[in-house]
Amino acid sequence: MALTLKQFKNCRILRNHKIQKEDLWIRNGKIINPEKIFFDEKTKADIQIDCRNAIIAPGFIELQINGGFGYDFSYSDDTVAKGLLSHGVTSFCPTVVTSPKEIYHKVLRKIKKRAGNEDGANVLGIHVEGPFINVEKKGAHPDQYIRNFAMGFETVMETYGTLDDVTILTLAPELVNSCDVIKELVARDVVVSVGHSMGDLKHGEAAVSCGASFITHLFNAMLPFHHRDPGLVGLLASDKIPEGKTVYFGIISDGTHTHPAALRIAYRTHPNGLVLVTDAISALGLEEGKHTIGQFEVEIREGKAFVAGTNTLCGSIATMTECVKIFKEATGCSTEYALEAASLHPAQVLGISDKKGTLDFEADADFIFLNDDLDVLQTWIAGERVYFKPT
């Protein structure tokens, strides 16, 4: 049976770092080159879709999200995967914060990499954020479960039980035995991120030389920038990074976690490595008040999430769409850059930018329709519409 050929007309496509007037052609869940259709197959589209001058951009990819819509990933990833579609997220890494060993052994076996559809976004693998972090930069992580690498990589496996569906792992690079652990993780195709750390720049550079390639929520839960030792922030301008390697960094542009001036500093210092993340928690999409996340309660006050009874921020409740808009306004960057910071760049972190985060030919047909205000109008996964904003 012939596969359905779809032609998207009257649209503006983000391709090759530019938004340009062009048709988009889809078949079998992939973006295809129309020249083959015109000159080789000499055929026409089975279905034509009028985009009404909307922007078509790659779907957003979320590398750090702890939950949403009333659930964290200790309980359900299905509800979150479904809810993210309306916010333009086509792929994500469910993030599990510092937890008891029993929780890891249960959750890391339950959440599996899977293809997205109308029931939810693609699951690209789990991001385990902890428990191998520094207690002095624990943030909202429960300190009674924080661990060190006492037995090296053996401690890692004993803690998690499995790494089969783990894609990213956040650790503090100053911990003893961290370099050996990083090397083993990278050998197993796990992206190592440094964060929740008291580490200085040398700790960060050593971690990168061992294979680390990402920084978890830059500026948050790490030593502040100091002119004599810039800490992990200094990796953005380090001259000790191996040639040809890019150190990427997540940054939360929710209007709360990172000041607009800090967003501008990061953007101007190392634009190629910047990745927008929400760090959203289970209270995303919920009303103000107290809610449970992980092992303790959080409280939503005035649009911000705190550890209940304190003034300690414990995660964002912003959507990726909001983060893109806030980042663009704060930095004055182009629309193209803001969108790629939430799509192409996270795909590059995971080494999948030939398939995700792009509208190049042969890439997966995961994309979104946006208006000029960057509101999400439609979400598509594998060439099928999975969300449509009511008008």
Report yes or no: 356 and 363 within 8 Å, Cβ to Cβ: yes
- Are both 329 and 223 inside the same structural domain? yes
The token pair at 108 is: 């890391």
Is 336 one of the annotated binding-site residues?
no
- Are both 98 and 139 inside the same structural domain? yes
Measure the CA–CA gap between 206 and 267, rounded to whole angstroms: 24
Per-residue pLDDT at 293: 60
Is 17 one of the annotated binding-site residues?
no
Residues 6+ apart with CB under 8 A from 41: none
Residue 363 belongs to a domain? no
- Are both 31 and 166 inside the same structural domain? no
Question: Is 177's pLDDT higher than 70?
Answer: yes
- Are both 153 and 284 inside the same structural domain? yes
Residue 202 belongs to a domain? yes
Residue 323 belongs to a domain? yes
How many other CB atoms are there within 10 angstroms of residue 19's CB atom?
Answer: 18
Q: At what angle do helices 153-160 and 178-187 cross, to 10 degrees?
A: 60
Measure the CA–CA gap between 109 and 116, rounded to whole angstroms: 19
Measure the CA–CA gap between 59 and 177, rounded to whole angstroms: 38
Residue 129 belongs to a domain? yes
- Are both 115 and 154 inside the same structural domain? yes
Report yes or no: 85 and 353 within 8 Å, Cβ to Cβ: no
Residue 366 belongs to a domain? no
Is 121 one of the annotated binding-site residues?
no
Residues 6+ apart with CB under 8 A from 68: 79, 80, 83, 84, 280, 281, 282, 283, 284, 285
Residue 365 belongs to a domain? no
pLDDT band at 170 (very low <50, low <70, confident <90, very high): very high
- Are both 184 and 292 inside the same structural domain? yes
Q: What is the 3 state secondary structure string of 183-245?
A: HHHHHCCCEEEECCECCCHHHHHHHHHHCCCEECCCCCCECCCCCCCCHHHHHHHCCCCCCCC
Question: Is 87's pLDDT higher than 70?
Answer: yes
Is 303 one of the annotated binding-site residues?
no
Residue 114 burial by CB count (10 A; 0-12/13-18/19+): exposed, middle or buried? Answer: middle
| 330, amino acid identity | A
Report yes or no: 152 and 180 within 8 Å, Cβ to Cβ: yes
Of the candidate ranges 27-36, 82-91, 149-158, 280-289, the one whose mean pLDDT is the lowest: 280-289
Mean pLDDT of all residues in 322-332: 98
**Token pair 């760090």 is at which residue?**
279
Q: Over the chain, what is the mean pLDDT?
A: 94
Mean pLDDT of all residues in 33-40: 82
Catalytic one of 77, 254, 279, 366: 279
pTM: 0.95
Is 220 one of the annotated binding-site residues?
yes
Residue 135 burial by CB count (10 A; 0-12/13-18/19+): exposed, middle or buried? Answer: middle
Mean pLDDT of all residues in 125-149: 95
- Are both 72 and 46 inside the same structural domain? no
- Are both 116 and 255 inside the same structural domain? yes
Is 10 one of the annotated binding-site residues?
no
Per-residue pLDDT at 1: 38
Provide the domain count of the chain.
2
- Own/partner pairs for 70-73, CB < 8 Å, 24+ apart? 70/282, 70/285, 70/286, 70/291, 71/282, 72/281, 72/282, 72/293, 72/294, 73/107, 73/111, 73/126
Question: Is 235's pLDDT higher than 90?
Answer: yes
The reply to whether omega before 131 is within 30° of 0 (cis) is yes
C-alpha distance from residue 223 to each of 169, 218, 261, 268, 313 (Å): 20, 10, 18, 20, 16
Is 370 one of the annotated binding-site residues?
no
pLDDT band at 285 (very low <50, low <70, confident <90, very high): confident
Mean pLDDT of all residues in 51-56: 98
Residue 297 burial by CB count (10 A; 0-12/13-18/19+): exposed, middle or buried? Answer: middle
- Are both 44 and 125 inside the same structural domain? no
Residue 234 belongs to a domain? yes
Mean pLDDT of all residues in 105-128: 97
Return the CATH number at 10: 2.30.40.10
Q: In the chain, what's the furthest Cα-to-Cα distance?
A: 67
Residue 203 belongs to a domain? yes
- More reliable by pLDDT, 391 or 143: 143
279 a catalytic residue: yes
- Are both 195 and 282 inside the same structural domain? yes
Measure the CA–CA gap between 131 and 143, rounded to whole angstroms: 9
Report yes or no: 217 and 250 within 8 Å, Cβ to Cβ: yes
Identify any residues that bridge with 335 across adjacent strands, giving them in sequence order: none
Is 237 one of the annotated binding-site residues?
no
Domain hosting residue 36, numbered range:
5-56+371-388
Closest by CA to 105, choosing from 133, 76, 128, 83, is 128
Q: 181-206 pLDDT, tens per residue?
A: 999 999 999 999 999 999 999 999 99
Return the CATH number at 105: 3.20.20.140
- Are both 156 and 207 inside the same structural domain? yes
Measure the CA–CA gap between 362 and 303, rounded to whole angstroms: 41
- Are both 139 and 275 inside the same structural domain? yes
Measure the CA–CA gap between 125 and 188, rounded to whole angstroms: 13
